[in-house]
């Protein structure tokens, strides 16, 4: 079965592609509450948060279709496998229904593909939630990004994702198309990093994105003109 939804034909269908993000370390409970309320109102796919806000968001979104997504080893991807496994388990226990896991970036940058595979496989196997692997494509060559996506696919990831939004680069047409080429129709592809407009969002979906991560989610859906 394909993981790619049809291209949106309405504002509500566009909203269903979007993970509404609140990832600043300085984010307050009031900002998280606002994001959850906006996600309910517009019908976003998920709200994506750091660990301290997961339980609060799960309570705030109870009874809605909006999922809670949480980032793991964010944004550097430098933790030990044991720490990453423990963090993922704790986030699921707090109410996370999806995990956005930063790939082990030192391994990807050094071409240590076996080590990256073993790490990702361990976290995915220990997680009772779908895992989106963040490759931080702005730091990688196209060959490294393609290899990282292949490793994530082999390790059992549900999706591959362009970037954290905190590193160099962000969501580009080229990065999304590359990840989609490796993912095929088996995995999701999440575009994230610097998505601000409706036109950008639609172009990334056209390139192969099945999910978008954005903090400008409300502006994106309100820019829909049909």
What are the catalytic residues?
100, 161, 190
- Answer positive or negative: Cα dihedral of 155, 65, 136, 25: negative
Contact at 8 Å (CB) between 152 and 186? Answer: no
- Answer positive or negative: Cα dihedral of 152, 135, 206, 71: positive
What is the CB neighbour count within 10 angstroms for residue 43?
Answer: 17
Contact at 8 Å (CB) between 68 and 98? Answer: yes
Q: Strand 159-161 and strand 131-134: pairing?
A: parallel
H/E stretch holding 72: strand 67-72
The vertex-151 CA angle with 82 and 21, nearest 5°, equals: 70
> What DSSP string runs through 88-121?
HHHHHHHT-SEEEEEP-HHHHHHT-HHHHHHHHH
């Amino acid at each position: 079965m394909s993981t790619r939804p049809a291209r949106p034909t309405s504002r509500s269908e566009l909203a269903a592609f979007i993970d509404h993000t609140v990832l600043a370390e300085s984010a307050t409970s009031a900002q998280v509450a606002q994001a959850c309320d906006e996600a309910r109102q517009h019908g976003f796919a998920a709200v994506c948060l750091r660990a301290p806000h997961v339980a609060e968001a799960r309570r705030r979104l109870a009874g809605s279709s909006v999922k809670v997504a949480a980032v793991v080893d964010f944004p550097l991807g430098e933790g030990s496998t044991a720490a990453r496994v423990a963090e993922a388990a704790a986030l699921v226990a707090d109410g996370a229904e999806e995990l956005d896991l930063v790939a082990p970036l030192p391994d990807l940058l050094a071409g240590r593909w076996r080590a990256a595979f073993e790490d990702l496989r361990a976290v995915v196997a220990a997680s009772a939630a779908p895992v989106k692997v963040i490759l931080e494509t702005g730091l990688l060559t196209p060959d490294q990004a393609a290899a990282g996506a292949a490793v994530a696919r082999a390790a059992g990831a549900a999706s591959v994702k362009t970037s954290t939004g905190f590193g160099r680069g962000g969501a580009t047409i080229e990065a999304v198309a590359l990840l989609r080429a490796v993912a095929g129709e088996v995995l999701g592809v999440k575009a994230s990093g610097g998505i601000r407009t409706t036109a950008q969002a639609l172009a990334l979906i056209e390139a192969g994105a099945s999910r978008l991560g954005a903090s400008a989610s409300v502006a994106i859906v309100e820019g829909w003109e049909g």
